[in-house]
Amino acid sequence: MLRHFSRPMSRVPAGLPAMAGGLPKDWKRLSYAQMVVWDADELRQLQKDLETERESAARKRDVAITEQRKVMRKNAIFELQQIERINTWIERIYKDTRRAW
C-alpha cells in the first residue's frame, strides 16, 4: 500500500539535460513533456546544439542530392523536420505565461 502512494504521478523522464554538452543521446525522441521541465539555460544550450545539427543535416542533404542518393536525402530531410519540430516546442515553452524567465 505504501509503495503505491510513494510512486510519482508522472512517469515522464526528463531526459539528459542539454547542459551536459552536446545533444542528448536520444534527442530525436525528445517530447514536449520532457523539455517543459528544463531550465532556460538548458533550452538555450539545446537550441545552439540543434543549430549545429541543422547545419550538419543540411550538408548531408546537399551531398545526397548531388550524389542522387534518395534514402540519404530523405533521412536528412526527416532530421531537419525533427529539428524544426523541437525548435517550435522550445519557442512555445518560451511563450508560456506560466514560466517566469
Q: Tell me what pLDDT residue 86 has.
A: 96
Grid coordinates given for 16: 539528459
pTM over 0.85: no
Per-residue pLDDT of 17-74, as tens digits, reads 545 567 888 888 989 999 998 888 999 999 999 999 999 999 999 999 999 999 999 9
Judge whether 82 lies within some domain.
yes
Residue 72 belongs to domain spanning: 39-101
Q: How many domains does the chain have?
A: 1
Angle CA(77)–CA(93)–CA(48) in degrees, nearest 5? Answer: 50
Statement: residue 77 has pLDDT above 60: yes
Query: What is the b/e burial string over 43-61, where b = at least 16 CB atoms within 10 angstroms of the residue's CB?
Result: bebbeebbeebeeebeebb
Q: Is residue 21 part of a domain?
A: no
Q: Which residue type, as a one-letter code, is found at position 100?
A: A
The answer as to whether 97 is a domain residue is yes
27 against 83, higher pLDDT: 83
DSSP assignment string, 1-64: -HHHHHS-S--------GGGSS--TTGGG--HHHHTTS-HHHHHHHHHHHHHHHHHHHHHHHHH
In a domain, residue 46? The reply is yes
